[in-house]
Amino acid sequence: MLPGAFNLSDKNLLLRHGVTDLLQLAQRRGANLHKLLHGTQIFEQDLSLAESRCHHRDWLTLVARSQQLASPELPFILADSLLHNKHSSLCQSLPLAANLATSLRQLYYFRHQLLPGIFVLLRKTDSHLSIVLKPAVQLGAQQAFIIKLAMAFLVRLVQLGTQRADELNIQLKQTAPAHLAHFNSHWPCPARFSQPLDALHIPLSLWYQPFITRQAAGFRDLSRACYQLNSRLPPQRGLLELIQRQLYRALPQQASLEQLASYLGLSSSSLKRLLQQQDTHFAALADDLRCDLANLLLLQSRLSNRQLASELGYSDEHNFRRAFKRWTGHVPSSVRLW
């Protein structure tokens, strides 16, 4: 695997940073611990050790088995458990930050200590900050649950710190669940399904509002513990994150496979092979990124097709329109402005 990146077979998740919380919640809903752990490389005695880690593939297995309990509130309850996790210096520090800007910067910097399988792209306008959630590694059938978990965690954090989470807006790619009314009761703000991207839109008026729970000394001490843990953790950036971040930085230029391979210190054939192991390929990643950015720009602003094409590195607006139609089945003008 590429140095500095992790894959599904790496032990990159601390059991006490969410795995044990998920197991406890599943057991409360009638799951058997032995059956949950069966076939994984996690043993019951590992759960009590301070720095036991598990493979990311085992985390996905546990998520899949917990979802079989048909408990729609599980990602919300797990998000609450994580936010109040006494074993995670990162989670404890976030509500003690001076404001949302400081808290989210802290979460962004140390994000690999919590959910390394997710990364975010940020886009700011005059009125909002948009956080687009994307998989850092191939999450398969568990992607929707993990995106919901990350989204619920962010919303709970805003609610705890500002008590103004009703001003947020949520977009989710997944289709509306059958139990929609019950599902929506867990969000304190509007949540829309079957959307073109997974995104949380935060008014800038919340950005520097002082947190109700702020505590400067506590935040400073817990931040020090986060830095200490960083020195003991293995590389925590997923291959999909490394590639899409570099594609994002290169815009409006469209980086090639060869350029990305060179940046990562690989041959083109090696990069292709690694992407095959993630069940994807370079063109699909590039299209996925540009599709998300195009939809975000359409939602945030009234840019013309020509301006959108320029932002995303297309030679003219006709090429952009054709690409957008291929990605979404719609023309840009049909996307309703948010």
Tell me the per-residue pLDDT of 27-60, one tens digit each, with 9 for 90 and over: 999 999 999 999 999 999 999 898 899 999 999 9
Alpha carbons 120 and 200: distance in angstroms, whole number: 10
Secondary structure element (H or E) that encloses residue 199, with its range: strand 199-203
pLDDT of residue 300: 75
SS3 per residue for 38-49? CCCCCCHHHHHC
pLDDT grade for 222, boundaries at 50, 70 and 90? very high
pLDDT of residue 220: 98
Q: Hey, is 34 helix, strand or coil?
A: helix
pLDDT of residue 99: 98
Residue 308, burial from CB neighbour count under 10 angstroms (0-12, 13-18, 19+)? buried
pLDDT of residue 302: 77
pLDDT of residue 338: 45
Tell me, rounded to whole angstroms, the distance of Cα 40 from its chain centroid: 24
Quick one: tokens of 229? 């843990």
Alpha-carbon separation of residue 134 from 296, 316, 326 (angstroms): 13, 27, 20
258-311 pLDDT, tens digit per residue, is 999 999 999 999 999 999 999 999 999 999 999 999 988 888 777 788 898 998
User: Any idea which of 77-86, 227-236, 238-247 has the lowest mean pLDDT?
Assistant: 227-236
Listed as own residue / partner, the contacts of 226-233 with beta carbons closer than 8 Å and 24 or more positions apart are 226/89, 226/90, 226/93, 226/106, 226/110, 226/113, 229/89, 229/113, 230/110, 230/113, 232/51, 233/12, 233/14, 233/112, 233/113
Q: Hey, is 288 helix, strand or coil?
A: helix
113-160 pLDDT, tens digit per residue, is 999 999 999 988 888 999 999 999 999 999 999 999 999 999 999 999
SS3 per residue for 242-272? HHHHHHHHHCCCCCCHHHHHHHHCCCHHHHH
Residues 6 or more apart from 50 whose CB is under 8 A from it?
16, 87
If you classify domain 237-334 with CATH, what class do you get? mainly alpha
Secondary structure element (H or E) that encloses residue 109, with its range: helix 100-109
Q: Taking the domains of the chain in order of start, what are their residue ranges?
A: 71-230, 237-334
- Mean pLDDT, the chain, whole residue set: 91
Whether the pLDDT of residue 250 is over 70: the answer is: yes
pLDDT grade for 1, boundaries at 50, 70 and 90? low
Are 125 and 174 within 8 A, CB to CB? no
pLDDT of residue 337: 46
Query: Closest by alpha carbon to 261, among 291, 282, 283, 234?
Result: 282
Whether the pLDDT of residue 194 is over 70: the answer is: yes
Alpha-carbon separation of residue 107 from 88, 154, 203, 213 (angstroms): 12, 10, 18, 16
